[in-house]
Amino acid sequence: MKYVSRICCFALGNFTYPGSRHQHLVACTIRDILEKDGGKHHAEKIEIFAQDPLYCQGTKKILKELYDIIVVDNPEGFKMLNESTFVITVAPLVPVRQLSVDLLNDVGGPAGMMCMEIRTDGTWINNRTYNVYDAASMRELLTTDDPSPRVNIFKERCLSNGYLINDDEKNGMGFNIVYITAAQNALYLRLKTEGSANT
C-alpha cells in the first residue's frame, strides 16, 4: 500500500444519524492500524480530518475530544487531499470519489479510499440494464457520488481492484465493521511505486 500521512473523511454524518459513530470509529481504527508500523511505511502520526456540513456543535466537540478528529469546513477537506491521503466517504451528497480522483489525477489519485463499491465507469449508456427490484442496482442509480471513467481507472490501479466490505463480517484487518451504510462498500488501496520517496 502507498504511504499514508493523513485521512480525510467526507459525509460520515452527524452523530444523530444511525451508524455515524461507527463510521468515525472505522476511520480511527484505520489510523491506529497504519500508525502501528512506527513510521516505516506510513507517517508516525496520522491526522484525521472530517468534513460534513451536517455536523452540529456537539458532534464537533465529541470528534475533537474523544476521537482526535479535526473537523474542517467545506471545501477545506478537498484542499487537503494529496497522494498520501486515505479518503473515507459514505453516501455523500457530492461526488467525493470523482473530486478525490480528479483533483489528484496527475499523481494517480489518493493513496487509498474506502467508499461505495465502484461497479462501473459511470457511463450509464453502455448497454447496462438495471433491475429496479435489485437493491444494489437501485442504490447505484440513486447515488450522488457517481463513478466516472477516472474513478474506474483509479479502481483498476488498486490492489485486487478493491476489497469488498460486508456488514458484520470480519474483513481481515483485525476489526469488524458493524455498520457503514446500506450500500455495498469497498476498500481501494494503491500499490507502492518503485523509486518513490515514500516506498
pLDDT in tens, 120-170: 777 765 555 555 555 555 555 556 788 888 998 988 888 776 666 654 444
pLDDT at 119: 77
Whole-prediction pTM: 0.81
Q: Round to whole Å and give the CA distance between 191 and 199.
A: 10
**pLDDT for the residue 37:** 81
In a domain, 50, yes or no: yes
- Using the predicted structure, report yes or no on whether residue 83 has a pLDDT greater than 70: yes
For 58, the grid coordinates are 456537539
- In-domain check, residue 1: no
Q: Residue 198 falls within a domain, yes or no?
A: no
Answer whether residue 24 shows pLDDT above 70.
yes
- What is the rounded distance in angstroms from the CA atom of residue 151 to the CA atom of residue 75? 20
Does some domain include residue 152?
A: yes
Asked if the structure places residue 54 within a domain, the reply is yes
Residue 136 lies in a domain: yes
Domain around 63: 6-189
What is the CB neighbour count within 10 angstroms for residue 11? 22
Cell of 39: 513510521
121 vs 11: which has the higher pLDDT: 11
Q: Is residue 29 part of a domain?
A: yes
Q: Which residue is listed with cell 440513486?
A: 142
The verdict on residue 137 lying in a domain is: yes
| One-letter amino acid of 194 | E
Number of domains in the chain: 1
Cell (9 digits) for 80: 487537503
